[in-house]
Amino acid sequence: MTDIQLPRAGIDKAQAYAELLPQIAAMVEGEPDPIANLANASAALYHGLAHVSWAGFYKVRGAELVLGPFQGRPACIRIGRGRGVCGTAWATGRPQIVPDVQAFPGHIACDSASRSEIVLPLRHAGEVVGVLDLDSAELAAFDRLDLEKLEPLADLLAPHLAAL
């Protein structure tokens, strides 16, 4: 693996993704350890995207999502299917973009500083195996651009989460 070069300060979100995502793909290429790959991916997202205050993964384990590799403040360990933003993404199989988490019915407040969130379901062999969760301390920090850029990353990382 080559040393990751975090996006330069002051660049816009689109440019940050353009610089960061190919590096994450290169980091996981050829590395078989799923924990190492997910840990590095969450660290790269957390440190590489200025609008992100928490980045991590939850793995489906029975009737719950269980916390996986992440970067940021300590997080909720278990989330029920259909509960909060992560549980909703799992239950519906659809990404969730939440501009104001306080307005989301049933939001689970793991970090009181979190103001907005995006959660993408991760699928492997046709099943949702977990979610990629990004939080921000800013209102409406996530939009269609984030979704467009994160969907291929979710596809790339889903097999690693499935292997946990």
What pLDDT, in 10s, does the model give residues 56-99?
A: 999 999 999 999 999 999 999 999 999 999 999 999 999 999 99
What average pLDDT does the chain have? 94
| CA–CA gap between residue 151 and residue 53 (Å, rounded) | 19
Q: How far is CA 123 from CA 11, 13, 138, in A?
A: 31, 25, 28
Domains assigned to the chain: 13-162 (3.30.450.40)
C-alpha to C-alpha distance for 25 and 143, rounded to whole angstroms: 22
What pLDDT, on the 0 to 100 scale, is given for residue 2? 54
Neighbours of 66 (CB within 10 A): 16
This prediction's pTM = 0.94
Task: Give the three-class secondary structure for 117.
Answer: strand
Q: Determine phi and psi for 112, rounding to 5 degrees.
A: -65, -20
Token pair belonging to 50: 């200025």
- The contacts of residue 68 (CB under 8 Å, 6+ apart) are 38, 56, 57, 58, 59, 130, 161, 164
For residue 4, pLDDT over 90 is answered with no
Taking only the tens place, the pLDDT of each residue in 106-118 is: 888 888 889 999 9
pLDDT of residue 3: 67
Amino acid occupying residue 61: R
